[in-house]
Amino acid sequence: MSKVLVTGATGFVGSRLVRALVARGEQVVVLARPGSSLRALQGLPEGSVQVKQGDIQIEHEVYRALIGCDRLYHVAAVFKMWAPDPSEVLDAALLGTRVTLEAARKRGIDKIVVTSSVAAVGANDKPEPMDESWQFNLRDSETYVVAKWKAEQLALEYAANGLPVVVVNPTGIFGPGDWKPTPSGASVLEYLKWPWPVRFPASDGGLNVVDVDDVVAGHMAAMDKGRVGERYILGGENLTFEKLFGTLAEVAGLRGPGRKVSRGTAMLGGRLMELGARWFGGEPSLTYKMARDYVGRYVWVDTAKAQRELGYSARAARQTLLRSVKWYLYHGYLDERVAQRIRLDVRGG
């Protein structure tokens, strides 16, 4: 029986992908760096997953992990919008992609799905959806955005040279299983924990909200049906930022967003948060470049290509956000004082 290797299997999307593959009866191998936490994979049937230690930036370790595999999901990435050392993000994206695909080429892997991001698609000044033909327009954005775009270009170059690569571009991913949490999940927690008497601020602009398990289904469909050398946007529902936090308010029984923050105010706030992160550590919830590039702009998408070619579909954003809030509550991400304020509205969930 054939086997599939998943890189990034200890992360949000990767771990949910592993669970879905196991549920489908696949033989799964995961590549994890020595010392990585495997808690995202806890509870899987004994013997259903083979864990091999290795680093996506070391070719012979990836090559060894691919023994007996005929397919590869390259999901691994450092999902940080800001890092004191940009090479932490760039190396994982660029060197990691090159090394992994080179090892796959030498192994003669039959099919490869590379996880890119909507970050590699761009942003629109108008509230109109973008599709796979949109010209990337954020070349001076945060390191993560530029790294995802460059890594995607590299993957498509390999495809053009004969490697059987398909690229998928998930949008803003939410839902259960976000252990770290990712920057997307952190924004939900920040809203739920908001301690100030003034209401949580929103801004003009918007994003696309998609459920992690719909993204996982899209990955598997891309492996089964995706055309080599093509990219597929895996999105859900297009929301304004105000609607996003308004929906969170509905499902959590909390107050909706307050006054909108201007782009200039957001950029200043991003500068201050970056400065605080450099002085005191941690990761800023907003940076100057993220505010400059996304406040007042729209990361709205059209998933018609994935629907047509992969049979892709996605649930409503309200259901996805409710699943996120319920998961964080159940797993203790909110202290008792905060948890007692939440009154879940489970309609549609």
What is the per-residue pLDDT across 2-60, written as a single tens digit (0 to 9) for each? 899 999 999 999 999 999 999 999 999 999 998 889 999 999 998 899 999 999 999 99
Residue 149 backbone phi and psi in degrees, to 5: -65, -45
CA 96: distance to chain centroid?
A: 17
Quote the CA–CA distance of 75 and 105 in Å, as a whole number. Answer: 17
Check residue 292 and report its DSSP letter: H
- The residue-averaged pLDDT of 296-325 equals 97
What is the per-residue pLDDT for 256?
Answer: 87
The pair of structure tokens assigned to 63 is: 């090559």
Phi-psi region of 230 (alpha: psi -120 to 50; beta: other; left: phi over 0): beta
Contact 105, 65 (CB under 8 A): no
| pLDDT tens readout for residues 289-310 | 999 999 999 999 999 999 999 9
Rg (C-alpha) for the chain, rounded Å, is 20
Quote the CA–CA distance of 184 and 56 in Å, as a whole number. Answer: 24
Residues forming beta bridges with residue 209, ordered by sequence position? 172, 237
Check residue 95 and report its DSSP letter: I
What is the per-residue pLDDT for 349?
Answer: 60
User: Strand 237-240 vs strand 206-211: parallel, antiparallel, or unpaired?
Assistant: antiparallel
Helical pair 143-160 and 96-107, crossing angle rounded to 10 deg:
20
Confidence of residue 197 (pLDDT cuts 50, 70, 90): low
CA nearest neighbour of 7 among 133, 109, 153: 109
Helices (DSSP H) in 1-142: which residue ranges? Answer: 12-23, 59-65, 87-90, 96-107
Q: Does the pLDDT at position 75 exceed 70? A: yes
Residue 40 backbone phi and psi in degrees, to 5: -70, -15
What is the per-residue pLDDT for 90?
Answer: 84
Quote the CA–CA distance of 281 and 273 in Å, as a whole number. Answer: 10
pTM over 0.85? The answer is yes
- Name all domains of the chain by residue range, CATH numbers in brackets: 3-174+209-236+300-314 (3.40.50.720)
Residue 183 backbone phi and psi in degrees, to 5: -55, -35
